[in-house]
Amino acid sequence: MATDSQLSMWEVFMQSKPGNNYIHAGTVHASDKKMALQNARDTYTRRGEGTSIWVVPTDAIVASDPNDNDMFFDPANDKVYRLPTFYVMPEGAKAI
């Protein structure tokens, strides 16, 4: 690594309160895990936005290719039997 760098990049995910999903907040730069976590804390929770943070080296993220979207995501579109509204319930059936 070059001597004068801006350190490496980490992706930050935050949970706003226990029970919620972790949501991507942005990135920070840091040279190690502890620094990444502290920098994420100081950057993304200045207004008490989070109660838990994940940091992941950006290099470790594997992303789907938007050019593959047709094969990746379209086949799920016609599987309506996965949705509860696909089924006909007899009238009067409650809370099923």
Partner 1 sequence: MELLEKYDKLSEQLLKTFEGKIERGDAIEPRDNMPDGYRKHLIRQISQHAHSEVIGMQPEGNWITRAPSLKAKQVLLAKIQDEGGHGLYLYSAAETLGITRKEMIDQLHTGKAKYSNIFNYPSLTWADIGAIGWLVDGAAIVNQVSLQRTSYGPYSRAMVRICKEESFHQRQGYEIMAKMMKGTKDQQEMAQDAMNRWWWPSLMMFGPHDGESPHTSDAVKWKIKRSSNDELRQKFIDKTVPQAELIGLTMPDKDLKWNETKNCYDHGPIDWNEFYRVINGNGPCNRQRMEHHARVHHEGGWVRAAAEAYSKKKENI
Partner 2 sequence: MTEEQAIYNYCLRMGDNSLIQSYRLSEWCSNAPILEEDLALTNFALDMIGRAQAMLAYAGKIEGKGRTDDDLAYRRSERQYYNHLIMELPNGDFAKTIARLLFTATYEFYLFTDLQRSADPTIAAIAAKTVKEVKYHMAHAGDWVLRLGDGTEESHNRIQKAINKLWMYTGELFETDETDAILADKNIAVDLALVKAKWTAHITGVLKEATLSVPEDEYMQTGGRKGVHTEHLGHILSEMQYLQRAYPEAIW
Instruction: Summarize as ranges the residues that interact with partner 1 (CB under 8 A).
Output: 1-7, 9, 26-29, 31-35, 43, 46-47, 63, 65-67
Task: Based on the shown chain and the rule CB under 8 A, indicate whether residue 12 belongs to the binding site for partner 2.
Answer: no
Q: Which is nearer to partner 1, 46 or 82 (CB)?
A: 46
Q: Of the candidates 12, 14, 30, 55, which one interacts with partner 2 according to CB under 8 A?
A: 30
Structure-token match 């050019």, residue found:
67
Are 71 and 30 a contacting pair, CB within 8 Å? no
Sort 6 into a burial class: Cβ within 10 Å, 0-12 / 13-18 / 19+: exposed
Distance in angstroms (rounded) separating the CA atoms of residues 82 and 34: 43
24 binds partner 2 (CB under 8 A): no
C-alpha–C-alpha distance, residues 77 and 6, integer Å? 43
Binding partner of 38, given partner 2, partner 1, none, CB within 5-8 angstroms per partner class: partner 2
Stretch that binds partner 2, among 34-42, 58-66, 70-78, 86-94 (CB under 8 A): 34-42
* CA distance linking residue 43 with residue 26, whole number of Å: 10
Q: Which is nearer to partner 1, 20 or 31 (CB)?
A: 31
